[in-house]
Amino acid sequence: MPEPSGSHSRGVPVGSGTAPLVVLASGSPQRREILRKLGFEFEVVVPGVEELESGDPEFLVIENARRKARAVERPPGALVIACDTDVVLDGEVLGKPADAADARHYLDRMSGRGHTVMSGLVVLGEQGEERSGLERSEVVFKDIPEAEKQRYVDFGEWEGRSGGYAIQTLGSTLVERLEGSVSNVVGLPVGLLAQLAPVLFERV
């Protein structure tokens, strides 16, 4: 689902009349929380873009992040961070469940199996230069009992979530093993961000 165009909100307070150090081109509360914990000053601008929903997963997540980054206004000297995260199973990008029945179908497919959480990250630098990268995490779900699947669907955490789960809360009970970046699975790969925008981490 494309995010509403032109939506703005503050991350942490910035000085009056001062351009934000970082523009986060995303409406994701998980990404906002990660940046807050890193101590960055940032402004949230939700881009209104048409996102790709099918195709090669690596191309898709990077291209969607690029579209988000380019869709927002970048104040002079600010960095723009845009990320797109999705779950890939059997080479297919799952996207977000359309409804509760779809969410249950996702759990049926993923139970007892591994999947890849893939993020494309794009940073527009202080001079407008673009850097991009790809992060992968491998997640294996346990064999989920039928009652537990239904409990998770009823809990409603699947709504608006790529792959139909959130690892940071009740979704963690579905996971047997995770290899790679946890922050990537949450929605913003911090290690990759440090590679693409090291200047930010010099100021943390």
CATH of the domain at 159: 3.90.950.10
Question: What does the pLDDT average to over 160-165?
Answer: 93
At 105-155, the pLDDT tens digits run: 999 999 999 999 999 999 998 888 999 999 999 999 999 999 999 999 999
Task: Measure CA 185 to chain center.
Answer: 8
- Share of residues in the chain with pLDDT > 90 (%): 74
Q: What are phi and psi of 143, to 5 degrees?
A: -70, 110
Strands (DSSP E) contained in the chain are: 7-10, 22-24, 42-46, 79-89, 92-93, 114-124, 130-141, 175-179
Question: What does the pLDDT average to over 9-25?
Answer: 54
DSSP state of 162: G
Predicted confidence (pLDDT) at residue 16 exceeds the cutoff of 60: no
Residue count of the chain, please give it.
204
Question: What does the pLDDT average to over 190-198?
Answer: 95
Query: Is 90 part of the annotated catalytic residue set?
Result: no
Tell me, yes or no, whether 43 lies in a domain: yes
Range of the domain at 111: 7-202
Predicted confidence (pLDDT) at residue 96 exceeds the cutoff of 50: yes
Choosing from 56, 84, 90, 102, the catalytic residue is 84
d(CA 62, CA 38): 23
Number of domains in the chain: 1
Tell me, yes or no, whether 2 lies in a domain: no
Tell me, yes or no, whether 70 lies in a domain: yes
Q: pLDDT category, 9, cuts 50, 70, 90? A: very low
In this predicted structure, which of 5-19, 23-37, 63-77 has the lowest mean pLDDT?
A: 5-19
At 45-87, the pLDDT tens digits run: 999 888 888 889 999 999 999 999 999 988 888 899 999 999 9
Tell me the residue type at 82.
A
Predicted confidence (pLDDT) at residue 98 exceeds the cutoff of 50: yes
Tell me, yes or no, whether 135 lies in a domain: yes
Tell me, yes or no, whether 1 lies in a domain: no
CB atoms within 10 A of CB 194: 13
Q: pLDDT category, 1, cuts 50, 70, 90? A: very low
Q: What is the mean pLDDT of the chain?
A: 88
Predicted confidence (pLDDT) at residue 17 exceeds the cutoff of 50: no
d(CA 202, CA 10): 22
- Position with higher pLDDT, 50 vs 35: 35
Tell me, yes or no, whether 63 lies in a domain: yes
Question: What does the pLDDT average to over 182-201?
Answer: 94
